[in-house]
Amino acid sequence: MKLIEPAVNADKYKHITDQQLLDNFYADQDTGWLGILLPRYTLLLLGVCMKYLKNEEEAKDCVQQVFLKAITELKKYKVEYFKSWIYMVAKNHCLMKIRDSHGKTPVELTERYMSASEEETDPQRLLQNDHTIELMSESLKELSPEQEQCVILFYLQKKSYQEISNETGFTMMQVKSYIQNGKRNLRLLIEKKLKR
pLDDT score recorded for residue 66: 92
Per the structure, the complete domain to which residue 53 belongs is given by 1-109
Q: What integer best gives the mean pLDDT of the chain?
A: 78
Q: Which residue has the higher pLDDT, 132 or 89?
A: 89
Query: 50 and 137: one domain?
Result: no
CATH number, position 160: 1.10.10.10
pLDDT score recorded for residue 99: 77
Query: 92 and 155: one domain?
Result: no
3-state secondary structure 18-67: HHHHHHHHHHHCCCHHHHHHHHHHHHHHHHHHHHHHCCHHHHHHHHHHHH
Query: 67 and 123: one domain?
Result: no
The lowest-confidence range among 42-51, 75-84, 115-124 is 115-124
pLDDT band at 173 (very low <50, low <70, confident <90, very high): very high
* DSSP conformation class of 11: G
Query: 101 and 162: one domain?
Result: no
pLDDT band at 5 (very low <50, low <70, confident <90, very high): very low
19-78 pLDDT per residue, tens:
999 999 999 988 889 989 999 888 889 988 888 888 888 888 999 999 999 988 888 888
Contact predicate 72/89, CB 8 Å: no
Q: pTM higher than 0.85 for the full model?
A: no
pLDDT band at 116 (very low <50, low <70, confident <90, very high): very low
Q: How many domains does the chain have?
A: 2
